[in-house]
Amino acid sequence: MCRPNALLEFYDPTLGKNPDLRDTSPIEVHARHVDSSDKSVYHLSGEVKLQRADQQLQADRIDYNNVSTDYEAQGDIRYQDAGQLLAASHMVGNSDASRGTADDVRYQMLDARGNGVARQGQLLDAQHTRYSMATYSTCDVGHHLWEFRASSITLDQDKGVGVARNATMRLGRVPFLYLPYFTFPIDHRRKSGFLYPTIGHTSRSGYEISTPYYLNLAPNYDATLDPRLYSLRGPMLAGEFRYLLPDRSGQVNSTGQLNVEFVPHDHGDNDGLANTSGNQRYLIKFSDTTKLWRGWQLTSSLNHASDSSYLYDFGNSLSHAAVYSLASNAAIVGGGQWWNASFGGTIYQNTNPFVTDAVLPYRKAPYATFNMDVPLAPWLDFGMDDSAVAFRKNGQVEGQREDLYPYLAADFGTPAWFVRPRLAYRYTAYQLNGGYQNHGYFGLLGSGSSPFTQQSPSRALPIASIDSGLVFDRSTSLFGNSYTQTLEPRLFYLYVPYRNQNDLPLFDTTLMSFDYWQLFSPNRFSGADRQMNANNLTEALTTRLLDDDGVERLSASIGQIRYFTPQRVQLPTGQNSVAAPTDWAGSAYVAQLDLRLSDKWRLGSTYQWNPNTRATGMGALELQRRLGSDGIVNLAYHYRRGLLEQYSVSAVYPVSERWRLVGSWTYAEPIKGVSKSLSGTIEAMAGVEYDSCCVSLRLVDRNYVNQGNFGIGPAPVGSNLNKRDNAILFEVVFKGLGSSGGQIEPLLHRDILGYQ
């Protein structure tokens, strides 16, 4: 962004950089003419240069006192030291004291990008400079998009701080802010002061203005106070505190962060199940990691809102998607070369204001895990994945679960082939709490018998698999280019005997989305409450094209699972009923393609076709085109049968070297047979940004679905299932004056693939 070598024209890169050598270094004098009557005062003229250590003074004429080291320079004066450049018409000073006064000054700092002009400049000592009737900017010399003009500007290179008095901030030639006194950084060290204000608008909270103040309290902790005002809801005080705490040896022992938001009196509209009108409201987020002893640490996070509507009303609508729950966790975590373990607990808070807490996951209080993977030989490993969890949820069956999963895994092969047999044994046991007979899979029973017939059910079974593959390669050419093509057939056999698991609860288990990775997975369920039965063979084939530089230009894969026995382990479809076993001979065919036509074009695609239903189960197509060095266009289509069908487009379009247009749009088709399906425009974002060496401007408007039910859990309040919001934010960042800003940038990274 900055002009290369944008320095004052007389900069000498060969000059020394260490000011500590000044006291012990001699002064070298160069001139075309020298006149000295008493051999103490020298009158130098003609391309005069005085040089000592990191200091260099050049002028048309210089009078220099060799005894006192006083000097007076006139005509085209150019001064340079390790920290700055200075040009002037007249200058007097003292070399030993590193003092001087110059008139009609142009100056530039070398450790930072600060530069400007002044009526007079004073070198107070080697680290301090004062300019009178001066300007300051971090833009390129002679191309100031912004600057401030002040009666005096003092630069302290020792502390990395500048002080301006009676200053007027200007954008171009237009003044827009007067500050009688303010400080600013002149290097990368932290300092206390105001950060850039943020101005925005959302439908839920109205206009917002935020004026954060940063407190550099100590080298190992700091804080930010952020008073905000919402036109529809009133004032808020937010704050952030960060810390690094050392141990006895001085090493960092604890790191943490606390964020708090407090609204003393919310006078905005009430929407949803929570009663918020006129109430105090708050949000607390705390995270900490503390080393306990070698290999062990305590990790904790606390996230809590005053009510389920808080994030709906006050959430950062530009940087994040809707958050439907907040998780809090505390755990002791440890590990060694071949193992890791943890002990802790996790709880959840509902932050969807339109559904009840019934949609929350089970609380895990407490839980313990132990995992290991020990090499017994270069080709053989022994490992285990073990866990013990107590599950808690009001209105649902509760209890404890232990899951033990030891295994032996071997790995034979060369770069041309591999065979990886694996033998495991899984034992899962439960201890259900009293009253388990009154519950079904999804809560209390109204009538009928419970599927839970034992208080201590268990399941034990072996799991055997063998994964094998070959890699062939050949030289080939395509469209006049030479490539290396590979052909990689792969077979994966999995055997898991059937165990009836209908009397086991569902604490944390769901059916995972079927994809290419699932072709080689030992279980199609997440969690430990269900283990699939299997007598399956996966057949897959991959081919790749590699160019002469080793870049993968094409990768294409296709595969299917062949079932020799029905899949009898199924999830429940009601309070105490379970889906019937399948009679499929094979799974859906899964194909995926990644094609890089050139460094500017990229195509990615995934497709699933189910021969049992003769229908497409899932499809995705993503096309990316790069425009120049910083432009990009993305087109995408995503389909999953019965769940979603979405189109999206996003782009960064460079209008010029500095101006870019940004935007994204996501549209969903209604899902047939799903009454609560989300349809229409899901999110639309448009904006413009200007970025240069010393200033960036961004303006973004985003319309999006803020909250909704989307077909899960109990019906929401009211008939409008999908709550929309509109947010506008404008950012101006003056680079080199402190905060880097950046509420908009995370949104652009998330919504525009390849944004930079």
pLDDT of 149 reads 92
Residues 6+ apart with CB under 8 A from 573: 579
In this structure, the answer to whether residues 163 and 66 fall within a common structural domain is yes
pLDDT tens digit string along 344-360? 999 999 988 888 888 89
Averaged pLDDT score across all residues of the chain: 88
pLDDT of 323 reads 77
* Inter-CA distances, 338 with 227, 370, 374, Å: 49, 11, 6
pLDDT at 403 over 50: yes
pLDDT at 715 over 50: no
Alpha helices in 576-682 (DSSP H): none
Residue linked to tokens 């755990």: 331
CB-CB contact of 111 with 83 (8 Å): yes
Q: Does any domain span residue 550?
A: yes
pLDDT at 717 over 70: no
CB-CB contact of 254 with 224 (8 Å): no
pLDDT of 675 reads 57
In three-state secondary structure terms, 437 is helix
Q: Does any domain span residue 733?
A: yes
Residues 6+ apart with CB under 8 A from 429: 401, 402, 456, 457, 458, 459
Q: Does any domain span residue 4?
A: no
Report the C-alpha dihedral over residues 436, 440, 443, 444, rounded to 10 degrees. -70
Among candidate residues 132, 160, 189, the one where a domain is terminated: 189
Read off φ and ψ for residue 294, nearest 5 degrees: -55, 120
Q: Does any domain span residue 516?
A: yes
CB-based burial label for 537 (10 Å; 0-12, 13-18, 19+): middle
Give 312's DSSP letter.
H
CB-CB contact of 84 with 108 (8 Å): yes
Residues 6+ apart with CB under 8 A from 623: 601, 602, 603, 604, 634, 635, 636
What CA–CA distance (Å, rounded) separates 234 from 279?
Answer: 11
Q: Does any domain span residue 153?
A: yes
Q: Does any domain span residue 385?
A: no
In this structure, the answer to whether residues 357 and 420 fall within a common structural domain is no
Among candidate residues 189, 204, 238, the one where a domain is terminated: 189
In this structure, the answer to whether residues 166 and 202 fall within a common structural domain is no
* Burial annotation 331-353 (CB, 10 A radius, 16+ → b, else e): bbbbeeeeeebbebbbbbbbbbb
pLDDT of 712 reads 40
Read off φ and ψ for residue 374, nearest 5 degrees: -110, 125
Question: For residue 576, what is the enclosing H or E element?
Answer: none
In this structure, the answer to whether residues 356 and 299 fall within a common structural domain is yes
What CA–CA distance (Å, rounded) separates 119 from 99?
Answer: 17
Domain that holds residue 734: 614-756
Give 671's DSSP letter.
P
- CA nearest neighbour of 735 among 138, 140, 191, 149: 138
pLDDT of 609 reads 94
What CA–CA distance (Å, rounded) separates 210 from 97?
Answer: 46
In this structure, the answer to whether residues 35 and 82 fall within a common structural domain is yes
CB-CB contact of 497 with 522 (8 Å): no
The confidence band for 713, taking pLDDT boundaries of 50, 70 and 90, is very low
In this structure, the answer to whether residues 141 and 219 fall within a common structural domain is no
pLDDT tens digit string along 174-211? 888 888 988 878 777 778 887 777 788 888 888 888 88
Q: Does any domain span residue 11?
A: no
CB-CB contact of 71 with 62 (8 Å): yes
In this structure, the answer to whether residues 363 and 228 fall within a common structural domain is yes
How large a percentage of the chain has pLDDT more than 70? 94
In this structure, the answer to whether residues 163 and 233 fall within a common structural domain is no
In three-state secondary structure terms, 128 is strand
Q: Does any domain span residue 388?
A: no
- CA nearest neighbour of 87 among 72, 99, 75, 96: 75
Judging by DSSP bridges, how do beta strands 206-210 and 198-202 pair with one another? antiparallel
How large a percentage of the chain has pLDDT more than 90? 50
Among candidate residues 568, 589, 613, the one where a domain is terminated: 613
Q: Which two tokens stand for residue 356?
A: 């009840």
Residues 6+ apart with CB under 8 A from 20: none
Q: Stretch 530-552: mean pLDDT, rounded?
A: 94
Q: What DSSP string runs through 245-300?
A: EE-TTSSEEEEEEEEEEEES---S---SSS--TT--EEEEEEEEEEEEETTEEEEE
Give 480's DSSP letter.
T
Taking the CA of residue 621 as centre, how many other CA atoms within 13 Å lie in the half-sphere pointing to its CB? 4
pLDDT tens digit string along 219-257? 899 999 999 999 999 999 999 999 999 887 878 889 999
* Inter-CA distances, 612 with 515, 587, 619, 702, Å: 17, 8, 17, 42
In this structure, the answer to whether residues 302 and 429 fall within a common structural domain is no
- CA nearest neighbour of 73 among 109, 32, 103: 103
Residue type, position 101, single letter: T
Q: Which two tokens stand for residue 581?
A: 């076993």
Give 3's DSSP letter.
P
Beta bridge partners of 255: 244, 289
Q: Which two tokens stand for residue 514?
A: 């079927």
pLDDT at 489 over 50: yes
Q: Stretch 413-437: mean pLDDT, rounded?
A: 95
pLDDT tens digit string along 161-181? 889 999 898 888 888 888 898
Q: Stretch 123-149: mean pLDDT, rounded?
A: 87
What CA–CA distance (Å, rounded) separates 608 from 593?
Answer: 12
pLDDT of 711 reads 40
Higher pLDDT, 743 or 162: 162
Question: For residue 171, what is the enclosing H or E element?
Answer: strand 161-171
pLDDT tens digit string along 289-316? 999 988 899 999 999 999 988 888 887 5
In three-state secondary structure terms, 591 is strand
- CA nearest neighbour of 85 among 53, 103, 109: 109
Residue type, position 634, single letter: N
In this structure, the answer to whether residues 607 and 680 fall within a common structural domain is no
pLDDT of 190 reads 79
What CA–CA distance (Å, rounded) separates 480 from 302?
Answer: 60
In this structure, the answer to whether residues 538 and 460 fall within a common structural domain is yes
In this structure, the answer to whether residues 645 and 666 fall within a common structural domain is yes
Q: Estimate to the nearest angstrom the gap between the alpha carbon of 423 and the chain centroid.
A: 39
pLDDT at 90 over 50: yes
- CA nearest neighbour of 266 among 300, 229, 241, 308: 229
Neighbours of 724 (CB within 10 A): 16
pLDDT tens digit string along 312-326? 888 755 544 667 889
For the chain, the farthest-separated pair of C-alpha atoms sits apart, in whole angstroms, at 119
- CA nearest neighbour of 425 among 551, 572, 293, 531: 531
pLDDT of 673 reads 67
Q: Which two tokens stand for residue 30?
A: 């160069």
Beta bridge partners of 391: 364, 399
Residue linked to tokens 């929350």: 360
CB-CB contact of 286 with 258 (8 Å): yes
pLDDT at 710 over 60: no
- CA nearest neighbour of 347 among 282, 400, 301, 402: 301
What CA–CA distance (Å, rounded) separates 674 from 680?
Answer: 14
- CA nearest neighbour of 268 among 253, 255, 252, 281: 281
The CATH number assigned to the domain holding 146 equals: 2.60.450.10
Which has the minimum average pLDDT: 139-148, 410-419, 563-572?
A: 139-148
First to last CA, the chain: 13
CB-CB contact of 367 with 346 (8 Å): yes
Number of domains in the chain: 4
pLDDT at 718 over 60: no
pLDDT of 524 reads 95
Read off φ and ψ for residue 717, nearest 5 degrees: -70, 135
pLDDT of 742 reads 62
pLDDT at 593 over 90: yes
* Inter-CA distances, 303 with 193, 231, 241, 321, 699, Å: 28, 26, 15, 17, 31
What CA–CA distance (Å, rounded) separates 653 from 623?
Answer: 16
- CA nearest neighbour of 151 among 163, 137, 139: 163
